[in-house]
Each structure stands twice: as C-alpha cells, then as structure tokens.
Amino acid sequence: MRKIGKQEIEDMAVGAALLGTGGGGDPYIGKLMALQAIEEFGPVTVLDPEEVPDDALVVPSSMMGAPTVMLEKVPSGEEAIEAFQKLEAYLDEKIYATFPIEAGGVNSMLPFALAARLGLPVVDADGMGRAFPELQMVTFYLDGISATPAVIADEKGNSALLTTIDNVWTERIARAATIEMGGSVMNAMYSMRGKQLRESGIPNILRLEEEIGKTIRLAKENNVNAIQEVLKTVGGFELFRGKVTDIDRKTETGFARGIATFEGIGNDKGETLQLRFQNEHLLATKGEQVVCVTPDLIAVLDAETGLPITTEGIRYGTRCVIIGIPCHPKWRTKKGIETVGPGYFGYDVDFVPVEELVNKGGEK
C-alpha cells in the first residue's frame, strides 16, 4: 500500500503514454484529470494485487473511443461515476477498488481521477501491460472473464448496460453505441474478484510506468541518455531513428487509423520506416522487412527528450526514435496471438518476437 500524489502521477502519465504505444489517449489530458482530482480530494491509495481480498469486487475505470475524439471531448468525471453507480446497482454490491484496464495516456489516469473522487483505492495491475484498441483485447479475455455486465456512459447523461454472449460482442455493440454517443464514452466493465485480477492481470504496471517516467525526467540532470535508460528499464530495443515525412491519419469506425512514415537520420540515413496504427502502433516495417509487430510494443519517442509521442501527436519533421519492447508472455500464446496478433488486424505477416527480429536485422 502506498499513496500516490502529484509527482507520481506526472511520472506515471509519461510511462503510461510510452507503454500505450501511441494510443490510450493524450497523456496531457489524462494527467490533468488525475491531478485535478487529487488536488481536490487528496492522494490516492495504491494497493499491490496481493493486498486485495480474494472476493473483493474490483472494476477498471476506462474510456473507449478514438483518441482523436477524446481531445475535443474531455470527460467531466461525472460519467465515470455514473457508470460505476449503474454497475453497482445492477450487481447490488459496492465496488471495493478500481484499476487501469490498460497502460495509456488517458486510461492509466482515469482510475486515479475516479478513485480520488470516490475514495477508492487503485490496484497496481492492468489487463494489457500496454494499450490495445478493442475491448476484448485484455488478458482477462484470454482467461475467460466476461466483459459484461458492462456499462457505458456519455457526458450528456446517456448510458447503456450491456449483457452479451461473449466479449467480442461487447466490443461490437459498445463500439456502435459509442460512435452514436459522440465517439467516446466512459466504461465500467470487466468487473471481477480480487483473486481473478491477481491471477489474470498484469501486475506492477503502475510501478513500471512511474519508473519509466522518472527515468526520462531525471535523465537530463543525471546527464544520461534518456532513451538508452528507458530501453534498459523496459528491456526494449532501438529500431529506427528518423524524422516524420508523412502522416496519413483518419478517424473511422470509431478508431484513429493511419500510417506514419519516417526518413532515417544518423545510422539509418537512406532508409524509410513505416508505422501502421489503429489507435495504437501495430506494425513497423523497414521497406519489406518487419522490424516489430503487435502484440510486441512499438513506441515513438522524441529523439531529444525521450518523451513518448502519441499517434495524434506525430507531426511532420519531428525527429523520433522508434523503439520495440517485448510484450507480456500472455500475449505470445496461441490465443494471445489470435486475439491481438497481426492477423487479427489484417496484416499479412506472422508474429515474430521483436528480440528475434532485431537479431535477424543484426545478422544481415
């Protein structure tokens, strides 16, 4: 058990945005929401998964929709409370604690904004260890935990409580409703028991986020290279160094989709890297060669500061370092790859772990 104040939130927001692999929402908005709630209601208690009673009811607080929409439609906090209260009424049980569904600029922060208001603790575990664009893309789904009963609520006061035959149907129906409700909504879904979260979730995600953020923040005063330090912290690889020459992005069917193109600088001069994304970066290719692919993590960092850049933050001319990070082993299982591998997103490539791709590239 530990208390989370403003500095921890600042660091976590940066680390979450990096693990959010370009998606998960704007870290600035997420951070502001959490900071404002902590300012008003005081620090939030974070529990290690082991500290949560077996039968305690725990529910992640998250947002769904296109990050590009979230930029213009900042949630007030009321809709998150509404979603939780509707779910509590339906289950006829008080919620013991909340937790993040994923690592990402907004979705890592929303549990803190809600927890501060409701006086709930936040559990240090999530369902992805990164960010993914669809509701069924959580370790809970791999372990057979139902997304429903699921409540979605918009800022206008509309809400829907879904009961579906599987989590893919939750995604389909909630996504259609979300688009109609203005492109983004607050969720209360994947309610589970403390024991389930401990067994199925990815633990210590908040500690990792904080560590990444702190590393980047302190790099300058410690006179070390931020990106090299981050790579050590996360066990990742530098894939490419280049500047943005083209960014083709549109918001469609409720997602921000597109392709970003980088022209190499330094050792990568003369080469071109392309990133394909659907909210999150999913595939990085250098010419015909895959250099990193989902479910492994692809993050774009500012070459100078080491700060992560979201897909909607990618601007022409920005100098970036693209890094790859091995995903949690749960995603490298057969069901994991079926759920979030390149085939699911329509890319005609096989999943190969980033550490193998990097070695192969090195052997050339």
Instruction: Find the part of the chain contacting a copy of itself (CB under 8 A) among 106-114, 162-170, 214-222, 286-294.
Output: 162-170
Q: Rounded to whole angstroms, how far apart are CA atoms 182 and 194?
A: 33
CA-CA distance, 124 to 147, in Å (whole number)?
A: 20
Q: How far is the CB of 174 from a copy of itself (least distance, A)?
A: 9
By the rule CB under 8 A, 87 interacts with a copy of itself: no
Residue 334 contacts a copy of itself per CB under 8 A: no
Q: What are phi and psi of 192, to 5 degrees?
A: -155, 180
Length of the chain: 364
User: In terms of CB distance, is 28 or 90 closer to a copy of itself?
Assistant: 90
Question: 268 vs 179, 259, 277, CA distance in Å?
Answer: 40, 19, 22
Sign of CA dihedral 232, 313, 24, 295: negative
Judged by CB, which is closer to a copy of itself: 162, or 265? 162
Q: Which of 9, 59, 131, 177 binds a copy of itself (CB under 8 A)?
A: 177
SS3 51: helix
Cα–Cα distance for residue pair 89/85, rounded to 1 Å: 6
By beta-carbon proximity to a copy of itself, the closer residue of 45 and 164 is 164
- Could you say whether residue 91 binds a copy of itself (CB under 8 A)? no
Of the listed pieces 46-54, 137-145, 172-180, 276-284, which binds a copy of itself according to CB under 8 A?
Answer: 172-180
The answer to whether residue 160 forms part of the interface with a copy of itself (CB under 8 A) is yes
Minimum CB–partner distance for residue 344 and a copy of itself (Å):
19
DSSP string, 310-360: -GGG--TT-EEEEEEEPPPGGGGSHHHHHHHSTTTTT--S----HHHHHHH
User: Looking at 32, 48, 172, 302, which residue binds a copy of itself (CB under 8 A)?
Assistant: 172
Interface residue with a copy of itself, options 86, 117, 214, 217 (CB under 8 A): 86
Asked if 175 interacts with a copy of itself (CB under 8 A), we say: yes
Footprint of a copy of itself on residues 118-157 (CB under 8 A)?
Answer: 156-157
Q: Which of 163, 225, 253, 359 binds a copy of itself (CB under 8 A)?
A: 163
Binding of residue 253 to a copy of itself (CB under 8 A):
no
From CA 7, how far away is CA 13, in angstroms rounded?
Answer: 10
Q: Is 222 in the site for a copy of itself (CB under 8 A)?
A: no
CA atoms 47, 134, 104, 274: torsion sign:
positive
Rounded-to-integer distance, Cα 86 and Cα 150, Å? 9
Burial of 89 (C-beta count, 10 Å sphere; 0-12/13-18/19+)? exposed
Q: How far is the CB of 66 from a copy of itself (least distance, A)?
A: 15
CB 192 within 8 Å of CB 85? no
> Which of 50, 180, 338, 350 touches a copy of itself (CB under 8 A)?
180
Which C-beta is closer to a copy of itself: that of 191 or that of 318?
191
**Nearest Cα residue to 13 out of 134, 114, 103, 118:** 103
Burial 144-154 (b: 16+ CB within 10 A, else e): ebbbbbbbbbb
162 binds a copy of itself, rule: CB under 8 A: yes
- Residue 81, interface with a copy of itself (CB under 8 A)? no
Number of residues that bind a copy of itself (CB under 8 A): 21
Q: Which C-beta is closer to a copy of itself: that of 84 or that of 262?
A: 84
Smallest separation (angstroms) from a copy of itself to the CB of 141: 16
Query: Least separation, in Å, of the C-beta of 75 and a copy of itself?
Result: 16
Q: Which of 169, 203, 249, 358 binds a copy of itself (CB under 8 A)?
A: 169
- Residues binding a copy of itself (CB under 8 A): 86, 90, 156-165, 169, 172-173, 175-177, 179-181
